[in-house]
A and B are shown apart, each in its own frame.
Chain A
Amino acid sequence: DAKTTQPPSMDCAEGRAANLPCNHSTISGNEYVYWYRQIHSQGPQYIIHGLKNNETNEMASLIITEDRKSSTLILPHATLRDTAVYYCIVRVRNSGYALNFGKGTSLLVTP
């Protein structure tokens, strides 16, 4: 899996957009970018994934740069319940291997 780099922590005001960056400069052509989050004392939750096109679902948007060396997860209207650790993971789809979690970004949404 390609190495990823995320800021250790970020703050965001409730109702504002939260933009979480991830650098993955060594990503290979067949590797996807996955985002998961872990709310305190719960199991990780899948958010979104993408290969090279921008993706959007009911939870978030994923913006991947044209050279695919970095991406940004966008929570358009952050709520207090979005306070969690967000993990950016790069890997081949359906590889059969476990997801490797780095340290992630601890997002704190404040009132």
Chain B
Amino acid sequence: GAVVSQHPSWVICKSGTSVKIECRSLDFQATTMFWYRQFPKQSLMLMATSNEGSKATYEQGVEKDKFLINHASLTLSTLTVTSAHPEDSSFYICSGQDHNYGYTFGSGTRLTVV
């Protein structure tokens, strides 16, 4: 089956620094990549949608200059959290979409900003 590899699985960073999260589709081409975040005891909330080679579309309330998304190839998408603050601490999850496999999710990244 389809696999999306997400790294790192957890990261701790200092307030004000930037963190990059990578998602790679290993055996399919993800024409679209979705990025979610999940706060404790809450459901997944969509942050943005990115199509390969295009600018990402952000959901209302998500700062595009803070959460930089790059989807330069059909197998790699990255999310960079810039100038991270403690309120950005969350569980970030990517999901790749392919017409054959549907939606495949990464294993998630636990970000803690101290």
Contact = CB atoms under 8 A, between A and B. Distances in A.
B43 interface: yes
Interface stretch (A13-21, A68-76, A99-107): A99-107
Determine the main DSSP class of B at the interface with A: strand
Interface string A81-104: 000000100000110111111111
Contacts of B104: 46
Given A96-B32, A99-B103, A44 B43 contact: no
Contacts of B91: 41
Given A98-B34, A98-B49, A98-B95, A43 B106 contact: yes
Contacts, number: 46
Interface of A: 38, 41-46, 49, 87, 93-94, 96-104
30 contacts: A38-B44, A41-B108, A41-B110, A42-B107, A42-B108, A43-B93, A43-B107, A43-B108, A44-B93, A44-B105, A45-B105, A46-B102, A94-B99, A94-B102, A96-B32, A96-B97, A98-B34, A98-B36, A98-B46, A98-B49, A98-B95, A99-B34, A99-B95, A100-B46, A101-B36, A101-B43, A101-B44, A101-B45, A102-B43, A103-B43
